[in-house]
């Protein structure tokens, strides 16, 4: 009599947390809405209302009421700009980075920590852009600053022993629960430093105009926002991380 093996549990093709899939869906829907439902004039009004425009925060704009939305838009555009993308290339590149790094972070943080973290990174990127582009009228759009923060946060734990990179062939939820490296240890890790050098170098090429997506509004690279989001993610990781680091053993003799 032949022995039947137990059926193996099938793994889904994409092991992506629901919160990441919802984020992808929202970004695609916003792009589709702008492309299919708005006229050119309506799209310009949409950008004025929801893109991040540094000139909105100048004294002249405040006095003249140039931008729609008033004080509310002064606040919500720190976040809403991240949901808008210039074209399919812009959207596709951001989704390509969001899927791996967002997945790693969402598995570790859980849904609500992930959502709040990404919003904080979005605001940090906008603040860095504002400081470096005071009074500029060109709107900034795209989720790159938030994704940059997710990339930096992931660097705090993906290289750890028994971490995600050690189990990349087979999904292991426990791999996302390993204690994170300290900030000092991360800054000394050659793998992180190599990643940082490559990432900063790429943004430098964007900043010097060596690489560009075009001259239309929203198509130049807001590299200062990327850097603001990245270092916010690196330094604020501990404030969101739910994994408690192991306690140092007490080596002092008892009295």
Does residue 87 belong to any structural domain of this protein? yes
Q: Over 80: is that where the pLDDT of 55 sits?
A: yes
Between CA 180 and CA 157 the distance in angstroms is: 5
Q: Is 3 part of any domain?
A: no
Q: Give the CA count within 13 Å in the CB-facing half-sphere of 155.
A: 28
Q: What is the pLDDT of residue 207?
A: 62
For the cut 50, the answer to whether the pLDDT of residue 38 exceeds it is yes
**Cα 17 from Cα 151, distance rounded (Å):** 16
pLDDT tens for 221-240 read 788 999 999 999 999 999 99
Range(s) of the domain holding residue 33 = 18-240
pLDDT category at 6 given cuts 50, 70, 90 is: very low
CA distance readout (Å), 42 to 12, 26, 46, 140, 197: 40, 20, 6, 18, 41
Beta bridge partners of 52: 140
| 85 or 215, greater pLDDT | 85
The verdict on residue 12 lying in a domain is: no
**CATH number of the domain residue 28 falls in:** 1.20.1540.10
In a domain, 11, yes or no: no
Q: Indicate whether 17 pLDDT > 70.
A: yes
The arithmetic mean of pLDDT across residues 133-152, rounded, is: 93
DSSP designation for 52: B
Q: What is the pTM of this model?
A: 0.83
- 177-210 pLDDT, tens per residue? 889 999 999 999 999 999 999 988 888 776 655 4
Question: For residue 178, is it within any domain?
Answer: yes
For residues 38 and 66, which has the higher predicted lDDT (pLDDT)? 38
Structure-block tokens of residue 14:
């994409």
Q: Is 140 helix (H, G, I), strand (E, B) or coil?
A: strand
Q: Which pairs with CB-CB distance under 8 Å and at least 24 residues apart come from 93-97?
A: 94/27, 94/142, 94/143, 94/144, 94/147, 95/24, 95/27, 97/144, 97/147, 97/151
The number of folded domains in the chain is 1
Q: Mean of the per-residue pLDDT values for the chain? A: 83
Q: Is the pLDDT of residue 248 over 80?
A: no
- Asked whether residue 219 is assigned to any structural domain, the reply reads yes
Give a yes or no: residue 104 inside a domain.
yes
Q: Tell me, yes or no, whether 254 lies in a domain.
A: no
Residue range 144-153: mean pLDDT, rounded: 96
């Amino acid at each position: 009599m032949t022995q039947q093996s137990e059926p193996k549990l099938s793994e889904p093709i994409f092991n992506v947390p629901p919160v990441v899939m919802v984020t992808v869906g929202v970004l695609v829907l916003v792009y589709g809405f702008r492309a299919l439902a708005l006229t050119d004039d309506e799209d310009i009004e949409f950008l004025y209302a929801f893109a991040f425009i540094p000139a909105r925060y100048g004294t002249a704009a405040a006095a003249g009421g140039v931008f729609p939305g008033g004080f509310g838009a002064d606040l919500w555009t720190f976040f809403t700009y991240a949901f808008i993308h210039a074209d399919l290339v812009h959207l596709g590149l951001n989704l390509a980075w969001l899927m791996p790094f967002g997945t790693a972070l969402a598995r570790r943080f859980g849904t609500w920590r992930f959502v709040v973290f990404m919003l904080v990174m979005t605001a940090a990127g906008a603040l860095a852009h504002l400081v470096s582009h005071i009074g500029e009228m060109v709107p900034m759009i795209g989720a790159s600053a938030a994704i940059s923060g997710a990339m930096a946060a992931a660097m705090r734990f993906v290289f750890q022993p028994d971490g995600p990179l050690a189990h990349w062939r087979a999904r292991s939820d426990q791999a996302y629960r390993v204690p994170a490296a300290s900030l000092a240890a991360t800054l000394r890790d050659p793998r992180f430093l190599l990643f940082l050098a490559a990432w900063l170098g790429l943004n430098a090429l964007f900043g010097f105009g060596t690489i560009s997506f075009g001259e239309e509004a929203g198509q130049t690279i807001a590299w200062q926002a990327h850097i603001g989001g990245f270092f916010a993610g690196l330094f604020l990781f501990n404030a969101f991380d739910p994994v408690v680091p192991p306690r140092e053993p007490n080596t002092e003799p008892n009295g």
